[in-house]
Amino acid sequence: MRISDHVANYILQMLNETDGIAEIQRNELASILGCVPSQINYVITSRFTPEQGYIVESRRGGGGYIRIIRRRMTKSDMIMHLVNEIGAQLDAASARAILRNLVETETASESDAALMAAALSEKALRAAPIEYRDQLRAAIFKNMLLVMQA
């Protein structure tokens, strides 16, 4: 298992044990997990984003901390938030991250997410000119989400 996966799993475990709110001290967590603090930063900025359903707060200084909060939303609220967050363009990696979050929050089933991933993939969009794929992916994904909400 990669160190970034190990860090993410540790933070997810903390969130599960503390009802969706985890406060960590970066240096302390790095020491526990045997990595450098910058790896903690990387995991937090790449895997605990608003698109993935998290709010991250930080306080710097000697007693500083990073607080990660898992947002609790209804299915409808989650979908509308995503539709508004996606914007005019969406790359394939971001689409996969959003789909992972939909499954983790039980907003979408594994099979629904797999179908959406196939429709949003580079392979499915290869007939479109490369400069329009992210725009097309965003439009398709927004429409799929709106259908899920209905």
Maximum average pLDDT range among 53-57, 59-63, 84-88, 139-143: 139-143
Residue 131 gets which letter from DSSP?
G
- For residues 88 and 73, the model is more confident at 88
Q: What single-letter amino acid sits at 11?
A: I
Mark which of 16, 43, 70 sits at the end of a domain. Answer: 70
**Do residue 63 and residue 125 come from a single domain?**
no
Query: Can you name the residues that pair with 66 across neighbouring β-strands?
Result: 24, 58
**Do residue 141 and residue 79 come from a single domain?**
yes
Per-residue pLDDT band for 122 (boundaries 50, 70, 90) equals: very high
pTM above 0.85, yes or no: no
pLDDT at 63: 62
Total count of domains within the chain: 2
pLDDT at 108: 92
Contact, 85 vs 39, CB < 8 A? no
**Do residue 8 and residue 39 come from a single domain?**
yes
**Do residue 30 and residue 17 come from a single domain?**
yes
**Do residue 96 and residue 145 come from a single domain?**
yes
Residue 49 is part of which domain span?
3-70
